[in-house]
Structure 1
């Protein structure tokens, strides 16, 4: 942390990076003049609404210098802003030169949202009797995002101007410093086909289900923008985006045909055979022309406004297509895991639990032996253990190994070889992996040496929050926002809270963050049977550190005996659900104040520990098993 902050530029001593950022801003402002724009908005997402981006599409990161996986950028003729949520407050302060762009910490009362900034700009516009022109690449926002922007900003005299050529791309390709940068590859990595015994459902069956929903909606065409939806539907995976086994592509499904638009040269005979007779493979650039030609005969198009780019929507409006506003069925089907997918996730997460548990053991041994180890050493250790397991494919996100004050940076994703684990500190280790068939994500916070009373108190409060959420029974139809409140309740009673959601959906050998389900204040989707969610409450204090405890769980139906014991047995009663863990890793018993746990929480913890020993022991040596039993005592 100190090293990073000491390298941060100041007004009197700007770094080379700041000077280059200033050059980029000047070049982008010249693009504003060229297109007669007052401001230009650069969201975090790309043409496929990715959270994690291929290097070629990391526009906001390239122009601003801020590398977080979420956050937006706005630039006008004389000012610039970066907008981040609470996960990135500290990271933005470390990476952004506030002499060039203002950090807006969204969620804090004294900081503006991008809409509030734009309203202010519109009201103070120097254009007399003219609208304030806001430029945006329509292929980088959803239809719903455009509508929210447009409706709110219209009153401030702001016109949203779709600019089909991305202005950051223009700057990147036309500026002199591009000569010193390697041109990032895009959409050229191999694609693989998954067998039905790994996915649990054939391509033909998936297309049949999608078309059945389209028929009920009276839609004839379904364009698909999101990469994980395409990968799931066609039972394909790729490597175009680090940590996400997806590939750059578009798709269109009609009532009789299906299309895949991608770099054709990397599609081998195995993939072609898997798609033969069901999916036509066309070049990536043919997506828009094909879509326009398909709707030319007045066939209705189904558009999910939260999962389709505004650029696609504009193309449909231009040819006067009849648009049916409805949820994309692929998003819902993908979230409800079948029995085969659950089994694959259990296998993958057991491998990951083995790796995390042995990493914790290794850290303890190194510390007890007085050896100096760094954040990078820890990250290398766990990543090496992942790779030892059969079927390892990739990490599911960059490993977070933050010691001491770095633990309070929620998405601290660059473990530092110079940051050593010191006695009295906490280490936050959040890591995940992609195995052939399953995706993992889990977090443990570990005490280095003897913990303080404050560390034990905060850790125990986070653990109570995790347990309360994990052992909660709930009726069918319960939403993620309802469960989120239950998880936070005990922490609120102690005057504590955390800025991120309690949990997110997870894909099966797909994206580690997946919708529409999740456990958050903003998630009104029900937690349905077969959905997979993380449970990861936390506590973060700048300069002190952070605590996060995360397992993955799948939603299953309670047995009749269990449900009858918690409610009167009635015919046609609402089904009751519960969480079952996919993750089996011990918590740090040095940090648990057992006196603060009630009898139910203790019973859950003891049952969980028994499962940890039962699940992991067959994978461990005798010495490792003895250590695990002691850790779970």
Structure 2
């Protein structure tokens, strides 16, 4: 869980310096020009990215709120920022309450964007007026548009697609065109990955996609999401910070495949990797090509939750035949093959080595009385990542929050002025992109001797992690079912956390990916070969935060041989988690008396694996420290 921009604070006074008020005035002039009563600015861009190139960080630019999720709505007299529990504290710090209201979705007396619009639409209806809501249709999904339309039509809200993004229009005006020009994007190099890294050739992937199209009785598949394109074509790029993807669109038909991108940056190796299978066209040719193909009345497979409403409007304009269904690439990508699992094991072992040695270094600095800062910690672990062969980039900006900063779930700008102080907790969440694998892991640790409360909260979070990690489950079990298991012990103690228990992870791709995950909102099954984080936590403003995160892949439980052939009939496969992460927990914060025998057995087995995996990478002194760190 990460941010794209540094965490900064805002105030009514600072808004005059940052120009938020002036930006609002300019945007409201665009509302008047288009006869709009409000304009909706989601987090996502034209590729529905969670992580955005700087040029597409529209909501961040207009509102000042830099969280990686959250939406913005501006009316003629008011403005709102809508955030989920991960960002409650951050939004209060960054958003100027004199200019815009923070709506903490999920709390009583805090509205969702739909509820605000229903109220505004109802007020307009009382005056016998139609409330006109402007949207950029290329920044919301078909599903989101349908939810808006179904919910808002009854309130008299008319949704008005505006192909010109109004935030971009404001950004291109003076004075921002000179002082904050929209950066170039989509111009970084692209590389081709060999089959020994991906485990599956482009030819085989296209065959599987076409087979899936045939089963859906569809002939055309437009692809919007960047990680799907990168996975399908076995290519990687650097157009988005911390994510090895590249700005592009793709189309797959029963006979052809297309890649639409900035073609000037493609070298001969990339062109050869696609030769004879993929037609390479300029980025701007995507919509004309899609319209041309769809105009032949070949059915187009559309995944409503992964395709923009703008694309849908283009297809409707040529009277295309649309088939609703899941994008097969998303499912194929989430089921890692044995080569991908092996690559992830290698990458996460490197990351585990770096995080473990960082923990050792912090302990030694504190014991020696040396004063170190959040920024020092971030520099240390990032330096250790870079020492490893195949390091490409971070997979998100490092979160190193000490004391009260640890309660800001996506705190992402380690501060050189924030020192590690005895009695505080440090939350260190970091990840890396290695050639072939992506990593993400989190540990909380005590600075000096912990308090009884810190030990209690940490042990409860650890119990939650262990309960989830050791859970076996039958094929077909969903992420929402496992999420409840993870939270159960915390709930018994009256504790909870406001984020999901885990997310899917790509292979040398986005650190957050679907469709799998562990959350009350995830109804996707945890299938064989999927990779998920397990990261329960506890956060208390002004006190600090605890999060304990490993990555795991789903494998089949080895079953005992049946006594008779009948014993094996209609037997449902059972799955379990195997860790990719091998980092000790903070023994000073573990209250062994609060662990049951099964939890202790899991922890002892895990520590044996930590020692086995890491020891070959360590010096004798480091091995001795690790042996001691793994005592419970």
Relative to 1, partners in 2 of residues 1:14 and 1:69: Cα closer, same or farther, differing over 3 Å? closer
Asked if 1:602 is matched to 2:600, the reply is: yes
The superposition leaves residues 37-70 of structure 1 with CA deviations (integer Å, 9 ceiling, x where unpaired) of 0000000000000001000000000000000000
1:184 aligned counterpart, secondary structure: coil
* Alpha-carbon separation, structure 2, partners of 1:299 and 1:397: 41
Change (3 A) 1:14 1:379: closer
Answer yes or no: is 1:582 the counterpart of 2:580: yes
**Could you list the per-position Cα deviations for residues 57-96 of structure 1 after superposition, in whole angstroms to 9, with x for gaps in the alignment?**
0000000000000000000000000000110111111111
Give me the whole-angstrom Cα distance separating, in 2, the residues matched to 1:333 and 1:96: 40
Secondary structure of residue in 1 paired with 2:172 = helix
Distance 1:175 1:252 in 2: 38
CA positional deviation for 1:297: 1.1
What is the correspondence of 1:592-631 to structure 2 with a 5 Å cutoff?
A: 592-631=590-629
C-alpha change, 1:453 and 1:68, in structure 2 (3 Å) is same
Under a length normalisation based on structure 2, what TM-score does the superposition of the two structures give?
0.97
Counting only pairs closer than 5 Å after superposition, residues 113-192 of structure 1 correspond to structure 2 as: 113-125=112-124, 128-192=127-191
1:9 aligns with 2:8: no
Alignment deviations for residues 141-163 of structure 1 (CA, whole Å, 9 cap, x no partner): 10001000100001100011110
Distance 2:15 2:522 in 1: 41
| Alpha-carbon distance between aligned partners in 2 of 1:286 and 1:491, rounded to the nearest angstrom | 52
Query: Which residue is equivalent to 1:445?
Result: 444
State the match for 2:3 in structure 1: none
Residues 501-528 of structure 1: CA distance to partner in whole angstroms, max 9, x if unpaired? 0000000000000000000000000000
Superposition CA RMSD, Å = 1.4
1:181-220 per-residue CA deviation (whole Å, 9 max, x = no partner) reads: 2541210000000000000000000000000010111101
Whole-Å separation in 1 of the counterparts to 2:630 and 2:473: 28
What is the Cα deviation at residue 295 of structure 1?
Answer: 1.0
Is there any run of 5+ residues in structure 1 with no aligned partner, and where? none
Q: CA deviation at 1:129?
A: 3.0
Q: Distance in 2 between matches of 1:341 and 1:9?
A: 47
Partner Cα distance (2:602, 2:439) in 1:
22
Comparing 123-132 with 486-495, which one deviates more in the overlay? 123-132
For the residues of structure 2 that align with 1:7 and 1:241, how far apart are their CA atoms?
Answer: 24
What is the Cα deviation at residue 17 of structure 1?
3.4
Residue 315 of structure 1: aligned partner: 314
- Mark the CA change 1:569 to 1:6 in structure 2 (over 3 Å): closer, same or farther: closer
SS at match of 1:297: coil
8 A contact 2:15–2:21 mirrored in 1: no
Q: CA deviation at 1:296?
A: 1.3
What is the CA-CA distance between 1:564 and the residue it aligns to? 7.2
Partner of 1:519: 518
| SS of alignment partner, residue 286 of structure 1 | helix
Give the conservation status (yes or no) of the 8 Å contact 2:556–2:573: yes
> Could you tell me how far apart the structure 2 residues matched to 1:417 and 1:605 are?
35
CA contact (8 A) 2:242 2:433 kept: yes
Deviations 1:532-567 (A, max 9, x none): 000000000000000000000000000012x979xx
CA distance in 1 between partners of 2:295 and 2:513 (Å): 34
Corresponding residue for 1:332?
331
Q: Deviations over 1:120-142 (max 9, x none)?
A: 00001178433211000000010
Quick one: distance in 1 between partners of 2:462 and 2:348?
Answer: 20
Corresponding residue number in structure 2 for 1:367: 366
2:568 aligns with 570
Contact 2:222 2:301 in 1 (8 A): yes
Q: CA deviation at 1:174?
A: 1.3
CA contact (8 A) 2:172 2:182 kept: no
SS of the equivalent of 2:568 reads coil
Measure, in 1, the Cα distance between the counterparts of 2:468 and 2:368: 37
Does structure 1 retain, via aligned residues, the 8 Å contact 2:171–2:182?
no
Equivalence map 1:375-390=2 (5 Å): 375-390=374-389
Q: Secondary structure of 1:190's match? A: coil
The answer as to 2:89 corresponding to 1:90 is yes
- SS across alignment from 1:175: coil
Alpha-carbon distance, 1:229 to partner: 0.2
Query: Displacement of 1:9 after TM fit?
Result: 2.2
| Secondary structure at the counterpart of residue 476 of structure 2 | coil
| Separation (CA, whole Å) in 2 of partners of 1:586 and 1:80 | 46
Q: Does 1:548 align with 2:547?
A: yes
Query: 1:424-435, aligned counterparts within 5 Å?
Result: 424-435=423-434
Quick one: distance in 2 between partners of 1:38 and 1:7? 29
**Alignment partner, residue 49 of structure 1:** 48
The change in CA–CA distance for 1:14 and 1:557 in structure 2 (over 3 A counts) is closer
Report the count of equivalent residues.
624
Cα-to-partner distance string for 1:210-257 (whole Å, 9 max, x where unaligned): 000101111010000000000000000000000000000000000000
Deviations along 1:567-602, whole A, 9 cap, x unmatched?
x94322000000000000000000000000000000
Which residue number in structure 2 is paired with residue 29 of structure 1? 28
**How far apart, CA to CA, are the structure 2 residues paired with 1:5 and 1:377?**
17
Distance 2:322 2:400 in 1: 47
What residue is the counterpart of 2:471 in the other structure?
A: 472
* Structure 1 Cα separation of the partners of residues 173 and 15 of structure 2: 23
C-alpha separation in 2, matches of 1:167 and 1:247: 24
- The 2-side partners of 1:611 and 1:243 are apart by 29
2:73 touches 2:80 (CA, 8 Å); kept in 1?
yes
Work out the CA distance in 2 between the residues paired with 1:619 and 1:581. 18
Give the whole-Å Cα distance in 2 for the aligned partners of 1:182 and 1:48. Answer: 21
